[in-house]
Amino acid sequence: MTKLIGIVVLTTSLFASNLLLQIDKNLQPGSSETYKKLINIEPDGSKKEFLLYQAKSGTDKMVSSFLKPVSEKGRNTLRLGENMWLYMPSVGRPIRITSMQSVVGGVFNNADIMRVDFNSEYNLVKEESKKDRFLLELKAKNDTIAYDKLLMIVDKKTITPIQIECYSSTGMLIKTLYYKDIKDFGSGIVRPSVIETKSPFYKGYKSIMIYGKITPKKFTPETFTIDNINKVDDLRR
């Protein structure tokens, strides 16, 4: 009986780990390039839009380049694990930034904008199966992660998030992310194309992330280095 219980626990643990890996795989290939639009909406209805190009490699590396508006062009970011940098042409050197800051303002922070893989940052500590969805509780692997706990609702058909509540270490709700509009991006990538977020700390404000294109692509290791942070736009050529 003890051996049987051990097998059940191991099987459950493997399923939980594989579920997170599958969610990550469905959201974005391990090595890929993405074009996305960020829209910040203020209480009076005014909007500010940004167009970004991003390159991702593995579970912990990403670079971004601002394409629009023109005033932001040449502004690049680099993420290596939980370490992040911002490059601005006017400064001419990379500056350290944190996951809870935001390079675009609005409700999305840097961790949201430069999201890598959930499995690399979180352990799945609780999983409940409903009729058409999974309810997951994720716990951050260390205290450098932007959110200490995530409560994630996952669609069983696509194995992609529907909604994620993000909490601090004190149990305070920081924001809620809503994943919408499933789209086939080609290359086997079928995922929500829109992420909206609201926060109790930004009453009346809303931010939207729209994925326009996701394409599998390989990059050299030199792509994700501080020395090349000012050359991200060259990847598009």
> Domain 2-236 class?
mainly beta
Where exactly are the structural domains of the chain?
Answer: 2-236
199 has a pLDDT exceeding 80: yes
Tokens 């003890």 belong to 2
Instruction: State the Cα–Cα distance between residues 137 and 124, nearest whole angstrom.
Output: 6
Average pLDDT for 120-142: 95
30 has a pLDDT exceeding 70: yes
Instruction: State the Cα–Cα distance between residues 142 and 138, nearest whole angstrom.
Output: 12
> For residue 1, what is the DSSP state?
-
- For residue 127, the one-letter residue type is E
| Cβ atoms 99, 86 nearer than 8 A | no
**80-105 per-position pLDDT tens digit:** 999 999 999 999 999 999 999 999 99
Q: What is the pTM of this model?
A: 0.90
2 has a pLDDT exceeding 80: no
DSSP result, 21-48: HHHHHHHS-SEEEEEEEEEEE-TTS-EE
pLDDT at 29: 86
pLDDT range class, residue 24, cuts 50, 70, 90: very high
Output phi, psi for 14, to 5 deg.
Answer: -65, -40
**99-130 per-position pLDDT tens digit:** 999 999 999 999 999 998 999 999 999 999 99
pLDDT at 14: 44
Instruction: State the Cα–Cα distance between residues 76 and 65, nearest whole angstrom.
Output: 4
pLDDT at 110: 96
Average pLDDT for 59-70: 95
| Cβ atoms 85, 229 nearer than 8 A | yes
Work out the widest C-alpha separation in the chain, in whole angstroms: 67
Average pLDDT for 172-196: 96
Instruction: State the Cα–Cα distance between residues 139 and 172, nearest whole angstrom.
Output: 14
The separation between CA 119 and the C-alpha centre of its own chain, rounded to angstroms, equals 12
Tokens 């350290």 belong to 96
State whether residue 191 is helix, strand or coil. strand
69 has a pLDDT exceeding 90: yes
